[in-house]
Amino acid sequence: MVHDLPDPKSSSVTSYVEQMAATVPSQAETAIADTALPYKLLLSCPLGLSPSQVSVDFDESYDRIPHPDTDSENSISEIWDARIQKNASLFNGKKFRYAGCSLPNERNGSTNISLVALHLGLTDYRTYCLSRTFVGTNLNPLWERFLVPSEEGEAVSLTNLLLQYDPVRCQHTSSPLGNGAVVETSDKRIVILRRSNNVGEFPGHFVFPGGHPEPEEAGITSHQNGKSLTESELINRKVSEEMFESIIREVVEEIGVPASALSNPLFIGISRRELNVRPAAFFFMSCCLSAEEIQQCYSTAQDGFESTQLHAVTLIELEKLATKMPGCHLGGFALYKLMLEARKET
């Protein structure tokens, strides 16, 4: 199911990524720029990218910038303290913070060329994808206060939205990067889950399997100041590997299929839901098991408690159910449809 990619040495990195983003220009621009949609596609790679084609720039400069308004910034701790009083079991952990992406220049003499570089910092995490700052910024009832508005009358082009405007707009939010997988069964069904009513965010909604890439899985607990260039490159490579390894891990844990039944994941883009500006990276994976066989695996899934039902649906059925998805997952569905259209073109 892995789609052949053009030889990156035959053209510049930038032109190739532009080609990917423009595969279905009318649909892509509508999906990315239409403010009426519950999501934005921050990055669309409809031909799918393998691990060697996605790099990471992990740096402290991509961490959240405190809000200049003292009252807004203080509300973060106030909201967290109120939640702690209601639920003493809340725990802390680290998550990667999404701060945009770039199109790296071609490296001279390299046969392993990155086509997209993700800019990642660190943020903290408190129970079910709610970090301390995520609770206080993105899930703050006044979360829009933490967004940086564009200058009045300023025109935001598609390229600027992807690479420049969005990271600035969300520089005061926690923006922990989630992930999701569009898993296609051997009988051409798509796997979705119905969330438990006990989860903290979007209970009862339909979602793709997923969760988060984990800093600790890449050996990261904090930023390391004074590291050498070689050490930085090693850390970036570990984080990049975790982007792909984490989605396999999430699928295995949430739907119960063995990793050996899954194809290598292809990165298809990043969606950000408009409600509290939550970003998520999406991947495509095929599974050699049928829908019926996956249902049997689901009964023994390690993290099955996070959902109440697994559905393996057709594309037409998914179109109807997608309206009951959180915006970021609805954006993931849009990325999948762009991938299908791109494959028709090629």
pLDDT score at 201? 73
Contacts of 60 (CB under 8 A, 6+ apart): 121, 122, 223, 225
What is d(CA 99, CA 169) in angstroms, rounded to the nearest whole number?
10
**Continuous segment of H or E residues that includes residue 216:** none
**Continuous segment of H or E residues that includes residue 180:** strand 178-184
Topology (CATH) of 8-345: Nucleoside Triphosphate Pyrophosphohydrolase (3.90.79)
Q: Please list the pLDDT of the chain residue by residue as tens digits (346 residues).
A: 333 333 333 333 333 444 444 433 333 444 444 557 899 999 999 999 999 999 999 999 999 888 777 776 766 677 667 776 776 656 667 899 999 998 876 444 444 567 999 999 999 854 333 333 444 444 444 556 666 665 544 444 445 555 556 777 788 788 999 999 999 999 999 999 999 877 667 888 999 999 999 999 999 999 987 778 889 999 999 999 999 999 999 999 999 999 999 999 999 999 998 887 889 999 999 999 999 999 999 999 987 778 999 999 999 999 999 999 999 999 999 999 999 999 998 7
**Continuous segment of H or E residues that includes residue 178:** strand 178-184
Contact between 92 and 133 (Cβ < 8 Å): no
CB atoms within 10 A of CB 314: 13
Contact between 19 and 46 (Cβ < 8 Å): no
Contact between 115 and 12 (Cβ < 8 Å): no
Contact between 208 and 332 (Cβ < 8 Å): yes
HSE of 61, CA atoms in CB hemisphere, 13 A: 4
- CA-based nearest residue to 312, from 297, 327, 332, 331: 297
Please state, in angstroms and as integers, the Cα–Cα distance from residue 95 to each residue in 36, 211, 220, following that order. 29, 11, 10
Amino acid at 251: V
